Amino acid sequence: MSMVIRQIHPVFVGEVSGVDLTKPLSREEVAALEAGMDRYAVLVYHDQAITDEQQMAFSVSFGPLEDARGGNIIKPEDRRLQVGMNDVSNLGKDGRPMERDSRQRAFNLGNMLWHSDSSFRPIPAKYSILSARLVNPVGGDTEYADMRAAYDALDSATKAEIEDLVCEHSLMCSRGSLGMLDYSDEQRTMFKPVRQRLVRTHPVTGRPSLYLSSHAGAILGMPMAEARILLRDLTEHATQPAFVYAHRWRLGDIVMWDNRQVMHRVRRYDDTQPRDMRRTTVAGDRPTVAQA
């Protein structure tokens, strides 16, 4: 059976059938998926009983994996998964849901804010690839917002106003908005704000998109309050239902998205029950703007 991509949302998202991601892909299949990503920005696969090794092998078809260091407060010795795998479960090293008052859990709850993965890095991520190994019975949908469609729908005055704006992104901003304000000096250095363009252009298609994320907390040359109102306003615009796809997870699903073209967030779920989701991240290849 040959691979087919069917669009499942009015503006983006393709559902892929006829491909087994646990096996090595041909060059033609990789090229077709990459072209599908350029067009749909999010690709959904079902019934993929994939291992960590297979997921990493699939991911590197699209470029080197991102170095995950500096993206979390977890200590290396507390990690549940091997290097190369991002643990976005609610599980501790012992395989059980984390305690309600755990700082790690609080930090991970930040994934419920709209964001683009690694926008807090000078070279932000290309793709994220998320596989459902254990699905929580209640809630936990992942929502995606098409930032190209959101950009296209802006009025021309707003487009002109934001064209050359540069934001500062930091994990301390997204987590700060959840009341997490205490960081060690080491963490403050690790989470130092980076610069990102507010409007970015896709390197292949040339399509412009809004580059928003809850990590963004300031705009260069603009008073803080004014910047945050603008960012909030643009985020509200970009996440209106017409631009959003909600993925209801089934066991064995894999969703792959282009962080350069979409934002995403996780919805609330029953945190007393396990949810095992494992992400691989394909590194980006260029900054959106020069750093300070």
- 172 vs 179: CA distance, rounded Å: 10
53 vs 21, 50, 56, 95, 216, CA distance in Å? 11, 8, 5, 19, 33
Instruction: At 115, give phi and psi (nearest 5°).
Output: -160, 170
- Name the residue nearer to Fe ion (CB basis): 15 or 143: 143
- Name the residue nearer to Fe ion (CB basis): 119 or 288: 119
Please give the residues from 91 up to 120 whose contact with Fe ion meets the rule CB under 5 A. Answer: 117
Token readout for 192 is 């130092």
- Name the residue nearer to Fe ion (CB basis): 162 or 231: 231
Minimum distance, C-beta of residue 86 to Fe ion, in the bound complex (Å): 9
User: What length does the chain have?
Assistant: 292
- Name the residue nearer to Fe ion (CB basis): 29 or 258: 258
Is residue 258 near Fe ion by the rule CB under 5 A?
Answer: no
Minimum distance, C-beta of residue 164 to Fe ion, in the bound complex (Å): 27
Coil/strand/helix, residue 277: strand
- Name the residue nearer to Fe ion (CB basis): 117 or 258: 117
- 142 vs 249: CA distance, rounded Å: 8
Size of the site for Fe ion (CB under 5 A): 1
Minimum distance, C-beta of residue 169 to Fe ion, in the bound complex (Å): 13
| Amino acid residing at 276 | D
- Name the residue nearer to Fe ion (CB basis): 19 or 213: 213
- 187 vs 182: CA distance, rounded Å: 9
Residue 196 DSSP class: E
Minimum distance, C-beta of residue 115 to Fe ion, in the bound complex (Å): 6
- 244 vs 264: CA distance, rounded Å: 9
Residues in contact with Fe ion by CB under 5 A are 117
